Amino acid sequence: MWLPFHTVCLRSQKVCRRSVAAALSQCSRHSENANVSLFSHSAGLAAQTCKTLLFRKHGDPSKVVQLEDIDLPTIGEKDVLVKMLAAPINPSDINMIQGTYAILPDLPAVGGNEGVAQVVEVGSQVTSLKTGDWVIPKDTGLGTWRTEAVLAEDDVISLPNDIPLLSAATLGVNPCTAFRMLSDFEYLNPGDSVIQNAANSGVGQAVIQIAAARGIHTINVVRDRPEFTQLSDRLKAMGGTHVLKEETLRRPEMMELFKTCTKPKLALNGVGGKSATELLRHLQFGGSMVTYGGMGKQPVTVPVSSLIFKDVKVRGFWVTRWKRDHSSDGRAFRAMLDELCHLIRRGKLTAPACTEVGLQDYSEALDAAMQPFTSAKQVLVM
């Protein structure tokens, strides 16, 4: 089956981009312009197919996503053929399939926006990559739930292959989000503190570890559950200073906590609703709350007193926007990845708890990714 080229609109922003489907089947500009005879090493590729997790309409992921074979196009002179190694199932992937995310591809589309792949073949004009390199997507929308892909050299960025596979597969979104939120909103010095909800999420675990590596204390809020103690121990073992249940935020114990811990300069909100309001109440004067996720599907309510008497700043962050804003000069993204990989090699940043799943077991993995209280990311391993 050949997936036609589509243009895709970021519907909420009226910005046209290549579609997920186009990216995975490669732009027509590449397939049309490619002169196969120029690339003796790519002979026979056009006949190859790959396996993909494809959705033809929006809806319940485990119902609309199907395992399908698609043709791989011939690689163009500035393209690379990659073999996907591992790709996580993130909440934004689920929302994209459901049709509720800010970026929606034209259909059919292959799921997945993140993952690590290995370059197996390069076009004759490729200069930044070589066979064997590990690469991750530079942007959202590549459709990573698949076994192989022909991609433009410019769509991916290399990663060192001496870091664990699961770290590489989950590096491009959540740790980058955590890194930017800890770097770009408040000047945080060792001894300062940050408060966050959804602390057991992929983002939350990266926040804990990157903050700890910088000597920053974290107050980590999670929803109550029967295994709270085990979860708390796990988050503390990775560097979390305090781990609290949501209910505790409203209790007098917080006064005790702030006798030994400075009031946070920064609050990171991945939930919304009451949880976000409670984070705001504990911010120090002039602090910032950065909303990056809305897992609770409730709006953020800002207490008037927080604005008047504490002059808090209420901000938002989207890593996709950051990557696009920095795409013309790739140095900032490269520098961030280098720093994150350095933390990984020093054992300061590990992948979130993951459940590895074969591509064929996608349906169970999609269902599992939408279950609450799991504290483990589903990662498709190809």
C-alpha–C-alpha distance, residues 372 and 278, integer Å: 21
Count of residues in contact with ligand NAP, rule CB under 6 A: 28
CB of 181 to ligand NAP, least distance (A): 9
Nearest CA-CA partner of 218 in 264, 157, 279: 264
Q: For ligand NAP, which residue of 173, 211, 243, 359 counts as binding (CB under 6 A)? A: 173
Strand-pair category, 134-137 with 116-122: antiparallel
Which burial class, exposed, middle or buried, applies to 248 when counting CB atoms under 10 A from its CB (0-12, 13-18, 19+)? middle
Which amino acid, 303?
Answer: P
Nearest CA-CA partner of 59 in 10, 94, 84: 94
- Across the chain, how many H-helices and E-strands are there? 14, 18
| Site stretch for ligand NAP (CB under 6 A), options 34-42, 78-86, 107-115, 290-298 | 290-298
Question: Is there binding between residue 174 and ligand NAP (CB under 6 A)?
Answer: yes
| Binding pattern for the stretch 91-110 against ligand NAP, x by CB under 6 A and - elsewhere | xx------------------
Question: Is there binding between residue 223 and ligand NAP (CB under 6 A)?
Answer: yes
Question: Is there binding between residue 270 and ligand NAP (CB under 6 A)?
Answer: yes
Which amino acid, 20?
Answer: V
Asked if residue 246 lies in contact with residue 224, where contact means CB atoms within 8 angstroms, the answer is yes
C-alpha–C-alpha distance, residues 283 and 281, integer Å: 6
Which residue is it, tokens 């990663």? 159
Residue 185 DSSP one-character state: S
Question: Is there binding between residue 296 and ligand NAP (CB under 6 A)?
Answer: yes
Smaller CB separation from ligand NAP, 129 or 168: 168
CB of 98 to ligand NAP, least distance (A): 12
Query: Dihedral sign, CA of 129, 131, 136, 139?
Result: positive
CB of 236 to ligand NAP, least distance (A): 16
Q: For ligand NAP, which residue of 25, 42, 113, 177 counts as binding (CB under 6 A)? A: 177
| Number of Cβ atoms within 10 Å of the Cβ of 196 | 29
Q: For ligand NAP, which residue of 271, 280, 343, 379 counts as binding (CB under 6 A)? A: 271
Question: Is there binding between residue 136 and ligand NAP (CB under 6 A)?
Answer: no
Question: Is there binding between residue 377 and ligand NAP (CB under 6 A)?
Answer: yes
CB of 180 to ligand NAP, least distance (A): 8
Asked if residue 112 lies in contact with residue 145, where contact means CB atoms within 8 angstroms, the answer is yes
Active site residues: 101
Strand-pair category, 156-159 with 109-110: unpaired
Smaller CB separation from ligand NAP, 343 or 379: 379
Question: Is there binding between residue 317 and ligand NAP (CB under 6 A)?
Answer: yes
Instruction: Point out which residues pair with 356 in neighbouring strands.
Output: 379
Smaller CB separation from ligand NAP, 25 or 174: 174
Question: Is there binding between residue 295 and ligand NAP (CB under 6 A)?
Answer: yes
Q: Which residues, 182 to 221, sit near ligand NAP by CB under 6 A?
A: 198, 200-203
Binding region for ligand NAP (CB under 6 A): 90-92, 173-174, 177, 198, 200-203, 222-223, 270-271, 292-296, 317-319, 352, 372-373, 375, 377
